[in-house]
Structures are given as C-alpha cells and as structure tokens.
Amino acid sequence: MKIFIRNLVLCAFPLLCGFGAGYYFTTIQGSCGEMVGALFAAKCHGRQREYQLRFQLGGAGAGLLISTMLGTWLEHRRRRAVQPSTPAVQPSPPEGEPS
C-alpha cells in the first residue's frame, strides 16, 4: 500500500503543479476589462486563455521534472537499502594458474 500511495503522489504531482500554476495566473492576472478597458476586452479574453494554458503547461512541465527526479532518487534509495551491505568476495586463483 505504501508503494501505491508513493506512485499515486508522484503521478499526480505534475497535474497538481499545472493546476497550481493556472490558479496562480488567475490570481495575479486581473480581468481583461481591467487590463485593456471595456472596448478591447473581447479580444483580450482569447489571449488571456492562451497565457493561462501556457502557465499550466509550464507548471505541469516543472512538476514532471521534479517528480521524475524525486522518483529516481526514491527508487535509488530503495534499491540501495535492499542490497546487502557487504559485497561477496570472489576467491582469488592459486598462484600457479593464470587468471
């Protein structure tokens, strides 16, 4: 169950970052009417959606990189914990025989 939760969080992280970036864009960005006035608000709306999609894509890309690095680090740590601490020593050949 622990592995399932870890993988679920790692898979959901880019999606959450994308949603967060989109939400951040909507909080810092006013409405189109406030930015350019009521006359050009209709033309601005499409551009604002385009910028919001770019923010979401950038946030999802950043989340993907972070979750990839975090997943790799966790997997490396898990494998290192599973391996035995002392490697097996191979016997050396007798002195008279070539190796």
Q: Does the global pTM surpass 0.85?
A: no
Residue 87 one-letter amino acid: P
| Residue-by-residue DSSP string for 28-75 | HS--HHHHH-TTTHHHHHHHHHHHHHHHHHHHHHHHHHHHHHHHHHHH
DSSP character at residue 86: S
Judge whether 26 lies within some domain: yes
Judge whether 65 lies within some domain: yes
Task: Write the pLDDT tens digit of every residue in 44-95.
Answer: 777 888 888 999 999 999 999 999 999 888 888 777 776 666 666 666 666 7
Judge whether 33 lies within some domain: yes
Count of domains forming the chain: 1
Judge whether 9 lies within some domain: yes
Task: Write the pLDDT tens digit of every residue in 10-51.
Answer: 889 999 999 999 889 888 877 777 767 777 777 777 788 888
Judge whether 96 lies within some domain: no
Dihedral, CA of residue 49, residue 51, residue 56 and residue 60, to nearest 10: 150
DSSP character at residue 92: P
Question: Which range of residues forms the domain containing residue 70?
Answer: 2-80
